[in-house]
Chain A
């Protein structure tokens, strides 16, 4: 070889220096850079979408956690509220919510006059500042405690949705001029009352605890029933899906013979995981409601449907963590005289438990956010009453968090957009909490064999 080189086939003359890249190399390097930039921008686009999504939800929804209240003294006049004069709750209940409306309106008119605020508005319009929900609340308070009648008490009331929107920046003088529900003068009065300290905006616990409210009272709408409904469904899913999922994974992973039937079951499970969720809703409607006669909009039906949906997720996760337990554990147990069943239940299952729990939590998180099947089984119904305690409560009508979001998006008042976004924040907080727990479990207990 050396001879051959020595004999000297002359090198082909280089056209350029090694230090200066030729045209082709430059082009290739540029293509390389471009390609890399595409990749980076794809990743950034994905992240940008995530950020935009969160900003959109947070900027729209955070304000729903604050609510505007008005606090004024109200004289609960005896002749209005207790015409019979015997403080009998049943008699007093005859005075309907409408009987309280002028009372509250008059109190506000008096307060405005006493504070020396000048306004051209009539009593009707001044009273219009107060939410339609307030008379019902005052009435409930009076009926619960008839001794209040005749006294003057400080009452803390919601203000109407538009006024609330004004303090949150959603309603302006311009938009109020075009709006038949509120006038600029009312906003001026509200501003004056706020300067006076009677109207304040503060943290809104009612948003989390109160039930839904009607179409015209967005200021009173809350998530209480929806949160309870979702909680009930999660309980049902956990109680049903976890044991069934674990049992079927144990069979498929540890006991099942390799035959046709097992194959069919396995293909079935992986296909079920990809069936669109709305199809499960149809299943629930046809089988649980129309065939088995279970009540509509009840958490039990939602829970059963979500259980069927979550099962594949749990089975897949459980099988993966059973598979991760090394065979040496099984062999050791069998070698010491344990039966197959004992080796699985006493040794393999406990070692796989963290993985199973992680999978279960992730499955539950998926189920919590699922909306479409619940729409079909009647969870969209307007429910104002809290369901009763479990077992019986599972059969009472309830709502669910994601369905409540959908419900609110379907209403015309723009204040419900804020509510819907706020509900999503609550939902996301639950999801973040669950996923954080799953990650924590995995970090803390996962073993690498």
Chain B
């Protein structure tokens, strides 16, 4: 791994720089560290930072850009005819990359020599079989064009990597030399180092923004691609979901959205009463000991991974609902149903609702309670007529947050709700949700140029927008409510 070595060399240079810088600073002060502007370590750290940071930055940027540049160069070598036979430019390019990587593996394990690779010809050697022997699987036969492109790809990558190594090492050396020369008794090393650290801190905190931008971009672009292949009116208002990989799919959002909403409503019908009553009981009635035991136990429910709930729905709740409710009542014979997913998801949301409501109820000022008791109200009357109305906005916020959780939940519905997209009212019928279909369309081998795969990005964007809207609204309400009593 030559790249790893480059990084190690840079880091080693940095370490050497630290010792050198420190030494030079002390020498410049005649061996008396008190005469320096900063502590000696700062001079060393300054040299290290100058050596390592620019080099690593360039390395990262280069690695990001190089594949794109090479891709652009190599793509020019492939004729339109080859692209047509393979289906798309992306597929040809991935073939080229695979062949090139295959050569690299072959050379690394000694199955081929570099000279052999240069002399390979498609009409004399079965390249696919040769590479297959060493464990590189290719999708189809290698055409001369692809072979040529793969060779060019390898050559360009090698030159690129060579230049990269040289550039980066020279940069590290230059940085070291510059900082070393600047190191002097009067040099304000601490300020320089602290500025550098501060910019690292700032960089780290912008990552959150970058993530959001990444999320939005990754989905918006593919969604736009999708809408070029499939009319947006049919997506947003279509009542049918029938993807077929031969084309002519119906990809309507409405049945998925209906399933999502139906399951979320049932989940909230389970979670909100239980969670709210539990929170009231914990906050107003429960003794200290009861609270100390029951509260963490209920919160354990929040720490359990959703896949566990999914399995619970699949092997316990689903069959139970089917055997004791759906079949005797003649409502259906499927063990995965809206009811199954809804109830299990409701259980998952109980601690979410209860701990948020608990906080909010505790934040209601004691004076309101005292006033109510003073007027002769019982505890339950106080809760119902004073505390809950006062806490209502906060509780609404908590419920909205829970709803956004329910809408975005994946594993419980994947395992508990079924896969059939339906517009039905029967809660014992299997239905499906937006998240289930995102998983369904993107798992396994997918062709990213077909609307059937791209629709997942549109679904993801829809989901993102809905949950984001709910969150922003809920946080706004909660914040507003908190200010009221502060």
Residues in A lying within 8 Å of B, measured CB to CB: 28-29, 31-32, 34-36, 38-43, 45-47, 49-50, 52-53, 56-57, 60, 243-245, 247-252, 255-256, 264-265, 268-272, 274-283, 285-287, 290-293, 308, 311-312, 315, 339-341, 365-366, 368-372, 375-376, 380, 391-392, 402, 405-406, 409, 417, 420-421, 424, 427-428, 431, 435
Contact = CB atoms under 8 A, between A and B. Distances in A.
A444 B478 CA distance: 33
A283 B213 CA distance: 10
A362 B401 CA distance: 20
Main DSSP-derived SS at the A contact region = helix
Given A248-B208, A293-B67, A371 B219 contact: no
Nearest to A402: B307
Interface in B410-447: 410-411, 414-415, 435, 438-439, 442-444
B222 A286 contact: yes
Contacts of A283: 211, 214-215, 218-219
A274 B201 contact: no
A431 B306 CA distance: 13
Contacts of B347: 46, 49, 53
A302 B343 CA distance: 30
B472 A47 contact: no
B311 A247 contact: no
B205 A376 contact: no
Given A31-B380, A286-B457, A370-B305, A271 B201 contact: no
A372 to B, nearest CB: 4
B329 interface: no
Interface of B: 1, 4, 64, 67, 97, 190, 194, 197-198, 200-202, 204-209, 211-212, 214-215, 218-219, 221-222, 273-278, 280-282, 284-286, 294, 297-298, 300-301, 303-312, 314-316, 347, 350-351, 354, 378-381, 383-384, 401, 404-405, 407-411, 414-415, 435, 438-439, 442-444, 448, 456-457, 460, 463-464, 467-468, 471-472, 475
A406 B463 contact: no
Contact of B4 (A277, A286, A371, A391): A391
Given A276-B463, A282-B460, 17 more contacts: A28-B378, A46-B301, A50-B298, A52-B316, A247-B205, A251-B205, A271-B471, A271-B475, A275-B408, A276-B435, A282-B219, A292-B64, A341-B194, A372-B435, A380-B443, A409-B415, A427-B305
A35 B198 CA distance: 56
B341 to A, nearest CB: 14
Contacts of A369: 304-308
B457 A45 contact: no
8 contacts: A35-B379, A42-B277, A274-B405, A278-B439, A286-B218, A341-B197, A380-B443, A391-B1
Contact of B305 (A29, A248, A256, A371): A371
A290 B286 CA distance: 54
A35 B298 CA distance: 20
Contacts of B410: 276-278, 371-372
A417 B315 contact: yes
A270 B476 CA distance: 12
Contact of B204 (A29, A247, A376): A247
A305 to B, nearest CB: 10
A308 B204 CA distance: 12
A286 B350 CA distance: 34
A270 B298 contact: no
Contacts of B460: 278-279, 282
Contact of A255 (B198, B276, B351): B198
A285 B380 CA distance: 52
Contacts of A40: 281, 285
Given A286-B457, A375-B439, A46 B351 contact: yes
7 closest pairs, A vs B, by CB?
A276-B408, A369-B305, A39-B281, A286-B218, A42-B277, A248-B205, A247-B204
A146 to B, nearest CB: 25
Nearest to B297: A47
Contacts of A53: 301, 304, 308-309, 312, 347
A28 B438 contact: no
Contacts of B475: 270-271
Contacts of A28: 378, 381
A366 B308 CA distance: 13
A45 B312 contact: no
A288 B476 CA distance: 33
B455 to A, nearest CB: 12
A278 B438 contact: yes
A271 B204 contact: no
A427 B384 CA distance: 42
Centre residue among B190, B214, B308, B379 by max chain A CB count within 10 A: B308
A281 to B, nearest CB: 8
Contacts of B407: 276
Contact of A39 (B198, B277, B306, B442): B277
B311 A405 contact: yes
B415 A406 contact: yes
A57 B311 contact: yes
Nearest to A282: B460
B472 A271 contact: yes
B212 A255 contact: no
Contacts of B308: 53, 57, 369, 424, 427-428
Contacts of A391: 1, 4
Contacts of A370: 305
Contacts of A269: 208
Contacts of B275: 42, 46
A290 B67 CA distance: 12
A53 B317 CA distance: 10
Contacts of A243: 204
A370 B311 CA distance: 14
A257 to B, nearest CB: 11
Contacts of A376: 438-439, 442-443
Contacts of B209: 264-265, 268
A398 to B, nearest CB: 17
Contacts of B354: 46
Given A282-B456, A283-B214, A375-B439, A47 B408 contact: no
Given A276-B435, A282-B219, A409 B314 contact: yes
A352 to B, nearest CB: 15
Contacts of B351: 46
A422 to B, nearest CB: 11
Contact of B442 (A29, A32, A57, A285): A285
B68 to A, nearest CB: 9
A252 B204 CA distance: 10
B288 to A, nearest CB: 15
Contacts of B316: 52, 56
A340 B347 CA distance: 47
Centre residue among A282, A283, A312 by max chain B CB count within 10 A: A282
Contacts of A291: 218
Contacts of B67: 293
B280 A341 contact: no
Nearest to B343: A49
B214 to A, nearest CB: 6
Contact of B306 (A49, A250, A279, A371): A371
A417 B286 CA distance: 39
Contacts of B350: 46, 49
Contacts of A287: 214, 218
B298 A43 contact: yes
A141 B218 CA distance: 50
Contacts of B409: 276
A251 B202 contact: yes
B404 A409 contact: no
B283 to A, nearest CB: 10
Given A247-B201, A276-B463, A278-B435, A50 B305 contact: no
